[in-house]
Chains A and B, each alone.
Chain A
Amino acid sequence: METLNALANGFAIALTWQNLGLALLGCFLGTIIGALPGLGPSNGVAILIPLVFSIGLAATPALILLTSVYYGAMYGGRISSILLNIPGDEPAMMTTLDGFPMAQKGQAGEALAISGIASFVGAVFATCGLVLLAPQLVEVALLFGPAEYFALFALAFATLGGLSSKNQAKAAVAAAIGLAIAMIGVDGQTGVPRFTFNNLHFYDGIDFLVAIVGLFAVSEVLVFVENHGTGQGTDSASRFKLGRVTPPLAMLKQTRGAMGRGTLLGFIAGVLPGAGASLGSFIAYTVEKKVSNKDDTFGKGDPRGVAAPEAGNNAAAGGALVPMLALGVPGSGTTAVLLAMLLTLDITPGPLLFTKNPDVVWGLIAALFIGNVMLLAMNIPLVSLFVRLLSVPSKYLIPGVAMISFVGIYGISGSTFDLMVMVGFGVLGWALRKLEVPLVPIILGLLLGSQMENNLRRAMTIADGEVAALVESPLALGLWCAAIIGFLLPLVIGRYLRYKEDK
């Protein structure tokens, strides 16, 4: 009942003209960002944060705008997957497997409609899950002391490294790099400068927005320059007739089960720290194929193969918001970027957010429901408009994106030094992508670094330097065990799979 009251208040906040307008704008921009190849949800939100910040929007409207972009990008990612066989973002990868064959069979319109509905089902269910689960998690989180938080951060890094990367060592390197960068600047507890190289610019640390936009957006520009003219360009306009964009009822009936299973699996994958939307769509597709692939139709344009991963990735996107809002620990790359946005707006997520700023939390959740209805309405009839936008050639799109990134960062600080640091991060991001070092742990390290260290030091101050205090409570011990298992399990499973393949 309490939850319902809070939700009603949230709707009261979200249903102002300004917030509705921002949600609409966010959904529209998000769908475009998701649909354009090379501009995923992380990229898109990362570029928009500094802009929103410089424009000076208040916290709740800014949050509504940017999360609408996040959800919109999840919807939009399917458009280029289905029509061009190029996933607009990573989670949309699995949608290409059956979506593109459907388009080749002349069912592009149906595929887009089914995936739109599946996205809606997944996202709405996940938002309901968020409403139910987040307050419960808050109750648990209130029991956390500094030692438990330190263990929780370790768990986030471990599972993120374990699940999202092929090479554990590289994921751990990425986390270490992020944490190391977070340490640059004046130490908050004692006031001594650390790793500043006596350069005044470094005294207040490196702004994580500068790093995020550099790592994601600028490195993307470099990747485009590198791939240009090597056959991986995306200059081709849409080649398919859309056909009808309303799905036949029979097809809806056929995909009902796929949507349900995809939603459930996606949501669970999203709630787990470090997994996120890519894993959600992957699991949803794999399981659906196991369950329904009786006539060997998967991979050849089976609508269930479109519905399952789309429901999965949108459900995971919603699920990932649960740990982000309730614990302050993001579950995926994009939620890490959303965490950056909250920190920029001077909101610290975590259990206290629900008691201190309930208007922010519930306004946001209500906005998610509204945004989803808008997205469904936008994505079924207006899909041909978005399809037309796909034909914007990258030779104009990418320079525009690069320049907007520069504008945003210049807008927050007005310093060319920050812009140089951003270009530096762009080059670093490009090199690390080449070496297959994941970028998300770096972002997570940057965002959580100071909190992680503060909690460690607070725990030590309470225990008077006794290291054993870190694992004293059963809760902390459990979190550490989960962290170790999360980090090592993929290693064991990977070896087992390789062993099976050899046989």
Chain B
Amino acid sequence: MSDRIFAFICLALACLMTWGATVIEESFIQDPLGPKVFPLVIAFVLAACGVAMLLRPDGEPIWPTRRKQIQLLWTVGAMVLYVQFLPVVGFLISTAVGAAFLSWQLGATLRQACLGGLSISVGIYVVFRLILGLSLARGPFGF
């Protein structure tokens, strides 16, 4: 079933690509093939594969249990929040919190996670900012 759903997504993508290719504005300088043909070829390949998977799907993958699904959602959410907060509060704070959260998700106790997150953040800051001079996100406090 998962494969069939994926096949439908591929077919939908192929349709979208075909539509997207037809609305590409042609320019006045033009080679014989133009910018539309290659996308159309790719859309065709995508559609053909979609049909093939629809006809001969593989066995069902082992999807995570409900509890794991929620945990994965949390993890992705944490990464998105991390990125959003990066320019606001700066590298050190956001990375410490982000790493601590991930570490907690991977089974560290709260104390271990906080310590781990803090040391990862400070460690990266020292190596990449202070030693190698990479530009990291600066928050209002300058770090």
Contacts and interface: CB of A to CB of B under 8 A. Distances in A.
B31 A403 contact: no
Given A176-B46, A189-B35, A229-B107, A404 B79 contact: no
A435 B6 contact: yes
A57 to B, nearest CB: 10
Interface in B85-118: 86-87, 91, 95, 98-100, 102-103, 105-108, 112-113, 116-117
A434 interface: yes
Contacts of B17: 180, 195
Summarize B's interface: helix, strand, loop or mixed: helix
A226 B64 contact: yes
B136 A407 contact: yes
A26 interface: no
Contact of B20 (A195, A398, A411, A416): A195
A132 B28 CA distance: 48
B99 A419 contact: no
A434 B108 CA distance: 26
A406 B96 CA distance: 13
Interface in A416-447: 416, 419-420, 423, 426-427, 430, 434-437
Residue of B27, B48, B49, B132 contacting most chain A CB atoms (<10 Å): B49
A192 interface: yes
Contacts of A170: 49, 53, 58
B110 to A, nearest CB: 12
Nearest to A398: B106
A194 interface: yes
A307 to B, nearest CB: 35
Given A395-B116, A423-B83, A194 B35 contact: yes
Contacts of B42: 176, 179-180, 183
Interface in A150-175: 166-170, 172-173, 175
Interface string A187-201: 101111111000000
Given A180-B42, A192-B27, A416-B83, A410 B136 contact: yes
Contacts of A192: 24-27, 35
Interface string B6-37: 10001001000100110011110111111100
Given A225-B106, A228-B105, A400 B26 contact: no
B45 A176 contact: yes
Given A176-B45, A395-B107, A406 B120 contact: no
Contacts of A420: 80, 83
A22 to B, nearest CB: 13
A47 interface: no
A461 B134 contact: no
B84 A407 contact: no
B79 A399 contact: no
A416 B84 contact: yes
A55 B133 contact: yes
Nearest to B95: A403
A14 B69 CA distance: 49
B126 interface: no
Interface in A201-244: 218, 221-222, 224-226, 228-229, 233
A169 B27 contact: no
A419 B99 CA distance: 16
B61 interface: yes
Interface string B109-143: 00011001100110110001000111111000000
B68 A226 contact: yes
A155 to B, nearest CB: 15
21 contacts: A55-B134, A169-B53, A172-B49, A187-B35, A190-B31, A192-B24, A225-B75, A225-B105, A225-B106, A228-B107, A233-B107, A394-B106, A402-B98, A403-B98, A410-B136, A416-B84, A416-B87, A419-B83, A434-B63, A457-B31, A461-B33
For the complex of A and B, list the 6 residue pairs with the smallest distance between their C-beta atoms, beginning with the closest.
Answer: A465-B32, A399-B102, A169-B52, A395-B106, A399-B99, A190-B27
Interface of A: 51, 54-55, 166-170, 172-173, 175-177, 179-180, 183, 187, 189-195, 218, 221-222, 224-226, 228-229, 233, 394-396, 398-400, 402-404, 406-407, 410-411, 414, 416, 419-420, 423, 426-427, 430, 434-437, 453, 456-457, 460-461, 464-465
